[in-house]
Amino acid sequence: MSLSLRQKIFIIYLVLFFLFIALMFPFSTHTIKGITLKSMDDRASELIRSIQNEPNDEQIVEALKKQKPTIFFRVSIIDSNRVVLYDTHTKRLLGPKFTQKYVVEHPEVLDAFKYGKGYHEEYSALLKQKFAYFAKAFDFHGKKYVLRTAFPYKYVAEITNDFEMGFLIWSAVMLLLFSLMTWFVIHRLTSPIEQIIRAITPYQEGKQTTIPEIKLNATNSEDDFGRLASTLNDLSAKIQTHIDSLTKERNQKETILESLVEGVIAVDKDMHITYANSYAEKLLDFSREEAAGKEFKDIGKPEFRDLLQNCLNQMQALTFSLQTKKNGNKVFLDIVGVPTKDENQAILVIQDKSTEHKMLEMRKDFIANASHELKTPITIIRGFAEALHDNPNLPLETTQEITNKIVRNCMRMTTLIKDLLALADIENLPRSRLTECDPIDIAEQCRSMVLDVYPSANIEILNPDNADVHLLADPDLMQLAIMNLIENAAKYSTQPAQIKVTFNREGSDYIKFTVADKGIGIPANDLENIFQRFYTVNKAHSQKMGGSGLGLSIVENIIIKHYGKITVDSTLGVGTTFTVVLPIRLESNEPEA
């Protein structure tokens, strides 16, 4: 957890206080030593001035003896020959042991002869205590003399201790007062900063989605912090406006990308996935959340990475095609790699071409099947026509049989061409052809036409709920669809055919009708293919019955063009039921056919 500015200042002051205390003791000791030296130097100078005008050594000694009552510390005089002329204590205490060389070799005396002054602290065995010694050289009638003084060290220590304690107390009080004043000033200065930080912290931590307005308490809006808060508020407003604009733009782009019928994947310079739309997720069968930040090899598509890398290296769009399988079905994909302007990112566009491939295959199959279906009767007609041409004397019965076969194959070609034209017509169904019609009336018309061909058939038209089943449709196409279903039911049933056409309402928006028979039925493995063009379950039977293989395909296309749905249920030897569900009204938001 980071410290606030006030906490940092408090810690710094605490450290400085203890550092000051630690440094004060050697400083005070040094200071009191300087004061002591100066005091001893001043006193020595006074004594020197009082004896410096004496005519000779004897008079110096006499002058010092006269001042002895006023001297409360030890004094010694050493002449230029480094002989002790006088000592206030030594000769009296030593008696016969006293020599004039007794104090000459002390450090402070040697320093005084050499440098003019000398100081030394030492324990005196003679006086049984520690002294502070000070020696000072002076000129006496052209010769260098030294005045040596001694001061009891315990007094120096007492003065030092008293000074240190007083200095410590005084300094601590001053530091405390200064700290309080500084703390007050810092508090006044940092309080607006703390308010600014508290105001923007929720946005920084992600707890708020917008930058809040900064309001300072008891702050003059004209001072520096007031102007700073106002500036930050203006800046925050501009930033928020910019963020809203970027967010709106991003959402618009994402909406556009999500609405595309193409997969889009964006990667950064390290080939890590930064974005994928839902269609790419669907095509490649991966999770966008799990793929974010990963490479293509992590989602099992390393070839995409190679394409994008080459795309960035060459700085041009590159493509390749991919064939794969999904849910057991073939999927054809066109992959396009496009570099971005900043040369550090690339976009992968995935186009599903499965429908185009399927339609191409369907066209090929359609052309092949149509050609085959047309070629077969033409071949038969040609063969019989050549037989008649080459054998003009054939018996009448044989000639009639041949001509009958020629007529049947011509009728078969006519039916095929008619069905092909019907399929083409269904593909272009304008809304203007849709009118309100009654499918029950249409079914009655179809029943009459089927009975003309299959007079023994039993065809029932039922409306058990007596419901209104009028709907918006193309009457001609609807008649073609119902006619094909009833005709197929009669065609593939053992005569007399038993057929039921039942109409019902499905809620308020749909009608449902079924065409059920008790015919030969359809094998289960053929059910999923019966709506394909030119597909027949029993080709020989279909040709015998004059079928083109396009009837159910036409029915399915008509139902789809009316936004409906057709399903089939069949059991071999039991019968088949086709179920159709159609909307009663085509809503205005539905696309025109």
**CA-wise closest residue to 196 among 234, 240, 229, 231:** 229
More confident residue, 488 or 233: 488
In this prediction the pTM is: 0.40
| CB atoms near residue 247 (< 10 Å) | 11
Q: Provide the β-strand partners of residue 337.
A: 318, 348
Residues 460 and 376 in one domain: no
% of the chain with per-residue pLDDT over 90? 7
The CATH number given to whatever domain includes residue 399 is 1.10.287.130
pLDDT at 503: 92
Say if CB 437 and CB 470 are below 8 A apart: yes
Residue 566 lies in a domain: yes
**Is the same domain home to 496 and 538?**
yes
| Domain boundary, last residue among 337, 352, 367 | 352
**Residue 337's CATH number:** 3.30.450.20
Query: Using one digit for the tens of pLDDT, what is the confidence trace for 401-424?
Result: 888 878 877 876 776 676 666 666
* Total number of domains in the chain: 4
For residues 416 and 513, membership in a common domain is answered with no
The tens digit of pLDDT for each residue in 144-191 reads 898 888 888 887 777 777 776 777 777 778 777 877 777 777 776 667
Residue 540 located in a structural domain: yes
For residues 121 and 100, membership in a common domain is answered with: yes
- Is 283 found in the same domain as 147? no
13 and 154 inside one domain: yes
Q: Could you report the per-residue pLDDT of 467-519, keeping only the tens digit for each? A: 888 888 888 888 888 888 998 888 888 888 899 999 998 888 899 999 999 88
**Antiparallel, parallel or unpaired: β 458-462 and 498-506:** parallel
Residues 346 and 414 in one domain: no
For the four alpha carbons of 240, 242, 243 and 248, in that order, the dihedral sign comes to positive
pLDDT of residue 591: 42
* Cα distance between residue 365 and residue 363, in whole Å: 5
Residue 204 lies in a domain: no
327: DSSP letter:
T
In a domain, 408, yes or no: yes
The mean-pLDDT minimum among 116-125, 315-324, 459-468 falls in: 315-324
Whether residue 348 sits in one domain with residue 386? no
Helix axes 57-67, 5-51, angle to 10 degrees: 120
Residue 565 belongs to some domain of the structure: yes
What does R_g of the chain's alpha carbons equal in angstroms?
60
- Answer yes or no: do 464 and 578 share one domain: yes
The predicted-structure confidence for 320-358, as pLDDT tens digits, reads as follows 777 777 766 777 778 888 887 766 678 878 877 777 776
pLDDT category of residue 549 using cuts at 50, 70 and 90:
low
Task: Choose one of 300, 322, 352: the last residue of a domain.
Answer: 352
Pair 556, 435 in one domain: yes
Task: Give one word for 521, left, alpha or beta, with left for phi > 0 and alpha for psi -120 to 50.
Answer: left
434 shares its domain with 404: no
Per-residue model confidence (pLDDT) at position 546: 47
Q: Identify whether residues 522 and 446 lie together within a single domain.
A: yes
Domain of residue 394 covers 358-422
Residue 72 identity: F
For residue 364, name the pLDDT band (cuts at 50, 70, 90). low
Is the pLDDT score of 375 beyond 80?
no
Residue that finishes a domain, picked among 399, 422, 445: 422
